[in-house]
Structures are given as C-alpha cells and as structure tokens.
Amino acid sequence: MEEEKIEVKKPKERVLYARSKLLNGSKPPVVGGKPITEELAIELRMTCFGTASCPPRGEWIRSPLVMRPPDQPLGYGIAAPRNGARSLLSGLQAHIIKWLLFDSRPQTKDNKSDVPPDTYLRPSEERQEEALWRACSEVVWRSAGGFNQQAGFQPVAVVALPGENTYVQHSSYYYQDGFTEKLCLFEFKNLEDVQVFLKRYLYLFQTEEGAGALLLLYAVVLSRGCENIKKDLDGKLSHLVSPHVEGSINVVTLLLSGRATPYLHNGVLYVGDEDHYAMPQFGILSRSPVGLLVWYGGDENAKNNINKQYPGSRLKTPALPIWVTSCSGHYGVLFNTNRELLRNYHAERRFDIHYYTCGGCHVLLNVDTRAHDDAGTMRTDDITATPLEKLIHTKWQDAKITWTGNAPHAGETPK
C-alpha cells in the first residue's frame, strides 16, 4: 500500500479559520479557573505522551479544529494533515456527522424528511460551529461518565484553557511546551454548562496554528481522570498517545465509549491460564452511538502486535450508521445517511456508504449484501479486494462493493 501523503490544497478550496469573528472582537478572554499545578502538568503529560521531560510532538501544538469551507459538499468535514492527532480528529469527526445528520434533524413519525440528507452535509458556517462545540461537549461529557450515570455518582467534566500566565516553571522534571504550563482548569457538573462554555471559547480550539486538538485531548483525559486512563490501558500501554503515524486506537475508544480501553470485545472477559489467575479485561460495556471498524492488513505495527483486537457487536453495530475506521493504520469515517439502516433488514440489503478522511478524501461506495452467484462478487478472502473493502467486509462479510463517484486523493484511501 502506498504511503499516505499530506494533501495539497486545491487552488479553489481555501480552509476558513475563525478570523472574521476574531477580528470583530468576539474573543472573550479566559477568566477564572484553577491554575494548573506542576504535579498535574507532569501527570497530564505523562498520561498522554509518556514523558514530561521533553515536549510533545509539535503537531499537537499546531493542530486546530478547522472545518472545510461551508455550504460545500465537504462542509461537514474537519480539515487536517496526516499526523498523530488523526485518530482523535476522526473520533470527533464521527460525532460532528452524527449531530449534523441525525441529532439536529427534526424527527418525523416515519423517520423521513422532505429535505434530502445531503443538504445537512453542506452546513453553513454557523451550523459548522454548532456542530463543533456540540461534538466536543459530547465526547468530554462521555469521558466524565455523564451518559452512564450510576446511583450516587456525580460526573464532573474538566476543560482546560490556556491563559496569559505561566504557572509551571522549566525544570529537570518538566520541559515547558509553551502551552500546558499556562492552562487553567474549569469544572462542570452538567452537559448544558459544558456546551455553553465550549461555545463561548470555541475560538481557542479553532485559531490558526493553535492547539485545538491538544485542548480536546486534555479535556477528555482530565474528565476521565489520569488514574482511570492508566487503569483503562491495563498495562498494554504506558501512555495514551502511541507513536503510530496517525495515533492510537485507545484515543478513539476514549471518545466513543468514555474509556480508553485497548479491548474492543463486548463486556468483560476473564483471561488466564493454568499458571495465572483469570483477570478481567474490560471491553465495550454498552452499545456505542458511534461504531468502530478495524482492519489491520499490512500495518507493520499491527503485524507485530500479538494482541490484535477486532471490534465486538457493540462497536460493529452502533446505534447510528456511523463508524470510525482504522484501516491498515489509516483513520477515517464511514457513514450512511439513513437512520434506520441498522434497524431495518431491507434497508441493509443494498445501500450507499460514504468514506471520509480529515485529509480531504471522500468516496462513495455501494454495498450489496444480497446473495450473488456472479464471479465478480468480492469476498472477505479475495486477494484483489482493497484494504477498505476488506474493512467493510468485517461488518458485511460477503457483500459486493462497488466504487462510485470521483477517484480519491492519492494516498488518502487505503487501496
């Protein structure tokens, strides 16, 4: 498989940053909050990146949350180069599509609308911003345990924003990155407060050459709790962000389930042998609103991983037809515009499915799950099938897959 290349922007497509509103004065300063301590700064960097004695990779400091031009065919998409933040941005992208396609659309008795679904995928700039702060709020609140409340448990979401002052000095234990040591922490006990706060300070996530991706990473980690993140990883990794080119699957499971588990199976499995007590492995504990599909293929990192994990039914069959995909180490999003796809056998017989990556690739595929006798049918063991087709076959095993529409950008789609 060809190595993925960072997209070259087309002359007619200009990524829009939140410049106009910033220049018009809609830039409220960060006030209040609890300044970060040296102890927490070290713990946060250790939990995320494995060390506090050297700064995180520069891409995390320079990855804002930027949408593609509004009112255009790809207006629903985040625009970002290929780097270690791709797994996090793909998880966020799935939630943006979820809100645009399903959460924001008026409900009808037959779940149908007079407005074509594609209309919702060409949002205005205002709807783009609302999709961003709502999606960010949802993943942060889920990491705090807000959607799986238990009796006597009070979820507390934590969002950290950069201020003007530096609260942690450079030392042999902590290497300043120009960002983490300036954070102020804000706590929230309900989803509505998180939404109001993120809407107000969305510009900090969008600012060109800003650290929007790192702000979101810190928010979900702080909301989950550094100690809980370490327990989630279960000794499989010493820290959350892996050195893989496009990031870690554990970041995706944190955004989808609220837990950074490396285990993708349903529920809890007890694993042991004659020499060791059976120990619990906590996988996906409830059905996810957004799913996950994985195909390891030629990913060298996966080849060397003896603990390769494939998703169970709670991820393969989510509440809505949206999946984050990890295909030979490349992250993207698969989605269908029909809310009833996974609830209606007839709808799942033949349907179109979109594939999008934050690098700007978009392709439309037709999936036909009906029995075929023709020799052209692609099977899961077909050596001519592309990695993306093999990934789709992990969900629809013997489906015939037909590529339609324009050809994807070179390197952005696994072939």
Strands 268-273, 34-35: parallel, antiparallel or unpaired by DSSP?
unpaired
pLDDT digits (tens, 9 = 90+) for 45-100: 999 999 999 988 888 998 999 999 999 999 999 999 999 999 999 999 999 999 99
Please report the pLDDT score of residue 153 as a whole number. 82
Strands 291-295 and 322-327: parallel
Distances in Å between the alpha carbon of 33 and those of 118, 141, 161, 185, 195? 41, 18, 9, 5, 16
Instruction: Tell me which residue range forms the domain holding 372.
Output: 19-404
Q: Say whether pLDDT at 351 is over 50.
A: yes
Q: In this structure, what is the dihedral angle of CA atoms 81, 26, 97, 221, given to the nearest 10 degrees?
A: 70
Confidence (pLDDT) at 7? 42
In a domain, 325, yes or no: yes
Quick one: pLDDT at residue 117?
Answer: 81
pLDDT at 116: 79
Residue 394, exposed/middle/buried by CB under 10 A (0-12, 13-18, 19+)?
Answer: middle
Over pLDDT 90: what percentage of the chain? 66
- The better pLDDT of the pair 259, 304 is held by 259
* Mean pLDDT (whole number) for 322-350: 93
Do the Cβ atoms of 144 and 158 come closer than 8 Å?
yes
Phi, psi of 67 (to 5 degrees): -95, 155
Amino acid at 144: A
Provide the number of structural domains found in the chain. Answer: 1
The pLDDT assigned to 252 comes to 97
What does the mean pLDDT of the chain come to? 86
Task: Report the distance separating Cα 62 and Cα 17, nearest Å.
Answer: 13
Question: Would residue 414 count as lying in a domain?
Answer: no
Q: Please indicate, yes or no, if residue 409 is contained in any of the structural domains.
A: no
The answer to whether position 63 is within a domain reads: yes
Q: Using one digit for the tens of pLDDT, what is the confidence trace for 100-129?
A: 999 998 766 666 666 778 889 999 999 999
In a domain, 4, yes or no: no
The pLDDT assigned to 110 comes to 62
pLDDT at 383: 60
341 falls within a domain? yes
Continuous H helices in 64-162: 86-98, 117-120, 125-143
- Tokens read off for 348: 């799942």
Q: Is the pLDDT of residue 8 over 50?
A: no
